[in-house]
């Protein structure tokens, strides 16, 4: 698991080299961090941002190289949907709602979201209180 270090932006590396999405953390004022996820699909990439009340070091230390499912996946061939945990932090966890839609022309687009869930963590595939 490599981490690219510079003063303001740190890239988080996926363990699976087949995942094209880019994930990084940016330093924000007030010792906070902005999590950024660039979701790569066939049509225009979607870039998601989430401000977190923790340091870059806490986020990088919590990153395990992969997302963990916390819901069953739904996949009917046109829509894929699943909730995944990106990492647990001392104050809560970060989830990624994955929604990939196959358009009539066969190309796929994403309609994803990142969210910080305070006072909860992912444990054994479930969201539980810290």
What does R_g of the chain's alpha carbons equal in angstroms? Answer: 15
How many CA atoms does the CB half-sphere of 49 hold within 13 Å? 7
pLDDT (average), residues 59-82: 95
pTM recorded for the entire structure = 0.87
User: For the chain, first and last CA: distance in Å?
Assistant: 26
The per-residue pLDDT for 118 is: 96
pLDDT (average), residues 4-10: 62
pLDDT (average), residues 71-83: 96
pLDDT (average), residues 89-99: 95
């Amino acid at each position: 698991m490599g981490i690219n270090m510079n003063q303001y932006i740190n890239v988080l590396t996926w363990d699976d080299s087949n995942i094209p999405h880019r994930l990084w953390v940016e330093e924000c004022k007030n010792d906070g961090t902005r999590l950024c996820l660039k979701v790569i699909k066939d049509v225009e990439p979607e870039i998601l941002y989430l401000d977190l009340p923790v340091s870059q070091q806490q986020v990088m230390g919590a990153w395990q190289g992969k997302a963990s499912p916390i819901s069953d996946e739904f996949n009917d061939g046109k829509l894929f949907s699943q909730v995944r945990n990106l990492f647990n932090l001392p104050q809560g966890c970060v989830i990624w709602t994955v929604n990939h839609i196959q358009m009539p022309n066969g190309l796929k687009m994403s309609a994803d979201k990142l969210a910080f869930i305070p006072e909860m963590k992912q444990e054994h595939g479930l969201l539980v209180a810290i």
